[in-house]
Amino acid sequence: MASRVKCLLVDDLEENLLALSAVLRRDDVEVHCARSGAEALELLLLHEFALALVDVQMPEMDGFELAELMRGSERTRDVPIIFVTAGGGDPWRTFKGYEAGAVDFLFKPLEAHALRGKAEVFFQMHRQKQQLAQQLDTLAETLRLNEMFTAVLGHDLRNPLSAILTAADLLQRRSDDEAVKKTASRMMTAGKRMSRMIEDVLDLARARLAGGIPLRRGETDFGQLVQRMVQEHQTAWPRHRIEVRQDGDLVGDWDADRLAQVASNLIGNALQHGDAAEPVRILVDGTRDDALRFTITNVGVIPAHLLPFLFDPFRGGQQRRGRGEGLGLGLYIVQQIIHAHQGGVEVLSGTGPYTEFRVELPRKGVEVVKL
């Protein structure tokens, strides 16, 4: 049996309401009748209607006025309205009816089969809308549970991974066997990469389930932070050049650990995808009083079809990724951290041989009042 839908009939004459009810009422259609516009508004507050058939000529509040009130309310603006009138085919009235938000205009006397057929179209549309809403709710709940499971799993994986890293470090420092030390070194490298992946998954869960990545703000020297990240990456990429320029006041009220994550991800991204023969250029501009700008540029162009998805989580599905490149969450997490600081991040690529990431950070956080 099809899902039950509700239909609203509005007419000041009881005999008209009885006639329309007889045509439209079925086991799967629940008909509600109103003798005035005010009574119709009360019913609209109580029920979700698939269709409203409204008589144009009513005392106190006519059909056009009722339609305007319905269109002005968030709850009722999407209810389809069919106007019913005995006024003949007056073009001006018809135009006014459609301008008021009608989907159709019927003239008395009504033909029962035509009315039933028109109404059934809107009943079916409403049923489909309800089914889609239910499916969306189900999918949203499934996604929420999957993300929660991923967060719990990621959290629980940290303890056994920590034990593995400790054992690998112990083997590396205490064993005299070169083969054992080499194996322990590989274990350490793989374990650290896995640890970064787990932290990325946990950050994804925080961003989606906790309403954003939490911050621990404090006085932070972004210039020192960038220099530290550059030194770490220069050690890992000795054949690449990194040029850094810093101007102005680079201190602000930020989360130092999170911004280190931002700088590390963007520098690593530029080194990985840039031209090794050309330097990665970093500019930290603190000449403005209200905000700091962090720009990182490398030679190389991001394909145009990837740009719209660059900050999407798991964007690795858009391109082939190497085994050591991670989960494709780096830029998504960068964006979430910057947004948590009430800042912005954008990428420019394709207008020349360069790709440039621009980050802007307000020096102080702005308290957001939730209403």
CATH number attached to the domain at 147-209: 1.10.287
Question: In the predicted model, what is the mean pLDDT of residues 176-189?
Answer: 86
Amino acid 317: pLDDT:
41
Q: How confident is the model at residue 346 (pLDDT cuts 50, 70, 90)?
A: very high
Q: What is the pLDDT of residue 250?
A: 95
Q: Does domain 5-110 have CATH number 3.40.50.2300?
A: yes
Report the topology of domain 218-362: Heat Shock Protein 90 (3.30.565)
pLDDT digits (tens, 9 = 90+) for 252-275: 999 998 999 899 989 998 998 888
At 350, is the pLDDT very low, low, confident or very high (cuts 50, 70, 90)?
Answer: confident
pLDDT at 296: 96
pLDDT tens digits along 112-147: 888 888 899 999 999 998 889 888 888 877 777 776
Q: In what order do the strands lie in the sheet with 280-286?
A: 242-248, 280-286, 291-299, 354-362, 344-349
Instruction: Say which range, 4-18, 87-101, 204-218, 298-312, has the weakest mean pLDDT.
Output: 87-101
Report domain extents, the chain.
Answer: 5-110, 147-209, 218-362
Q: What pTM was estimated for this model as a whole?
A: 0.55
- Residue 145 vs residue 231, higher pLDDT: 231
- The long-range contacts involving 185-194, CB below 8 angstroms and separated by at least 24 positions, are 191/161, 191/164, 191/165, 192/165, 193/324, 193/326, 194/161
